[in-house]
Structure 1
Amino acid sequence: MNSREALAIGSDQKPPVLFRGEYPQWHERFMNFIEAKTNYEAIYKCLTEGPPDWPMKVVPGNPAEERPERQIRKSIGDFTKDEKDTYDAEKLAKSYLLQSLPNDIYACIDNFKESSKKIWDQIEKMIMGSHINSQLKVTNCITRYDGFKARKGETLTETYERFNMLLNDLQKNKITKTNTENNINFMNNLQPEWKPFVSHIRHTQTLEKLYLHELYEMLLQDEEEVMELIGNQKAEEKPAADPLALVSERRGKSVSRSSGKVPVLS
Structure 2
Amino acid sequence: MDSAKFAFQAQFYKNDIMMSLGTETRPPVLVDENEFTQWQDRFLNFIERQKNGDDMMKILTEGSFEKTILASGMTKPIAEYTPDESLQYKDDRDIKANLMLALPNSIYN
TM range (shorter): 0.7 to 0.9
Distance in 2, matches of 1:35 and 1:15, equals: 11
Mapped partners of 2:34, 2:74: distance in 1: 45
2:76 aligned with 1:74:
yes
Residue number in structure 2 paired with 1:172: none
The residue type equivalent to 1:24 in the other structure is T
SS state of the match for residue 34, structure 2?
A: coil
2:98 matches 1:105: no
For the residues of structure 2 that align with 1:7 and 1:86, how far apart are their CA atoms? Answer: 28
Structure 1 gap segments, 5+ residues each: 56-70, 111-266
Which structure's CA Rg is the greater one? 1
Deviation at 1:72, TM superposition (A): 5.4
SS in 2 for 1:104: helix
TM-score by length of 2: 0.75
CA RMSD of aligned residues (A): 1.9
Residue in structure 2 matched with residue 171 of structure 1 by the alignment: none
1:15 has 2:17 as partner:
no
How far off its partner does 1:7 sit?
0.4
Structure 2: give runs of 5+ residues left out of the alignment.
Answer: 1-12
2:100 corresponds to which letter in structure 1? L
Q: Which residue of 2 aligns with 1:54?
A: 69
CA gap 1:104/1:51 in 2 versus in 1, 3 angstroms = closer
Letter in 2 for 1:4: D
Equivalent residue of 1:26, what SS? helix
Instruction: Output the CA distance in 2 between the equivalents of 1:24 and 1:84.
Output: 32
2:6 equivalent in structure 1: none
1:22-54 deviation line (CA, Å, top 9, x unaligned): 112111110111111111111011111102422
Q: Give 1:5's aligned residue.
A: 17
Higher RCO, Cα 8 Å, sep 6+: 2
Can you list the C-alpha shifts for 1:124-171, whole angstroms capped at 9, x where unaligned?
A: xxxxxxxxxxxxxxxxxxxxxxxxxxxxxxxxxxxxxxxxxxxxxxxx
Q: Secondary structure at the match of 1:89?
A: helix
Number of equivalent positions: 92
Once the two structures are superposed, residues 214-249 of structure 1 have per-residue CA deviations (whole angstroms, 9 ceiling, x without a partner) of xxxxxxxxxxxxxxxxxxxxxxxxxxxxxxxxxxxx
Match of 2:95, SS? Answer: helix
Q: For residue 21 of structure 1, give the secondary structure of its aligned residue in structure 2.
A: helix
Q: Which position in structure 2 is the counterpart of 1:37?
A: 50
Query: Could you tell me which residue of structure 1 aligns to residue 93 of structure 2?
Result: 91
Greater helix content: 2
Letter in 2 for 1:81: P
> Partner letter of residue 24 of structure 2?
D
Matches of 1:48 and 1:93, distance apart in 2: 12
Which residue identity lines up with residue 22 of structure 1 in the other structure?
E
